[in-house]
Amino acid sequence: MTSLTIYHDPEIGSEGHIPDPHQDTFAKTTLGFWLYLMTDCVLFGSLFITYAVLHKSTFGGPTSAELFDLKTAFLETVLLLVSSVTCGFAVLSSLKNQRTQLFLSLMATFALGVSFLMVEMHEFHMLLQEGHGWDKSAFLSAFFTLIGTHGLHITFGLLWLIVMAMQIYFSGITVATFRRLVLFSMFWHFLDLIWIFIYSFVYLLGV
């Protein structure tokens, strides 16, 4: 969607259109962020391929079917899916200039994201307690690297959310803060999509 300003040139006697500089900045920033997401796709794609090659290299240890708990993975999936919905509500609230609803949606997204990380850390803790660390086999190394990389992205997203919420609180819903909110929403939905692939490829196929 392009925002245009109408002006009248007295010498020419006709109307023209000048692109809104804010829209131009928004378009360039969005394009740059899409390029970043594409590099992240390459990163996760490499990790998925590595896991696919190594997931049977258990070094005599337990297989994925013996270690994975689908109930835990399903809970994580539900938490992330709902957080994507609340993140979408935050963007819609900003378009309507509804600051209360916006902050409530961001708080819900943050709480769901933290809950996801807590469940994931509990899963890691249980595996380590049972002696199934990342150093025990190539399969576990690939698993911890893939899931851990996604978890690090979630952690970064939560820190981004905190900073962005503070900016909106002090500066209001401006062109700049709205742009950051949209980019955050893209990033968060991207992580949700990656997790769906993880749930399907790692957990469902592994059990």
The mean pLDDT of 166-184, rounded to a whole number, is: 93
Q: d(Cα 88, Cα 169) in Å, to the nearest integer?
A: 19
DSSP 98: -
136 secondary structure, DSSP code: S
Give all domains of the chain, ordered by start, each with its CATH number: 22-204 (1.20.120.80)
Average pLDDT over residues 176-196: 95
Distances (CA, A) of 156 to 1, 50, 141, 205: 29, 23, 22, 28
Predicted confidence (pLDDT) per residue in 82-123, tens digit: 999 999 999 999 999 999 999 999 999 999 999 999 999 999
| Single-letter amino acid code for the residue at 97 | N
Q: What is the pLDDT of residues 36-49, one digit of tens each?
A: 999 999 999 999 99
Q: How much is the pTM?
A: 0.85
Average the pLDDT over 50-68 and give the result. 92
- Taking only the tens place, the pLDDT of each residue in 131-162 is 999 999 999 999 999 999 999 999 999 999 99
Tokens coding 117:
């990380």
pLDDT value of residue 120: 97
Rounded average pLDDT over 19-40: 75
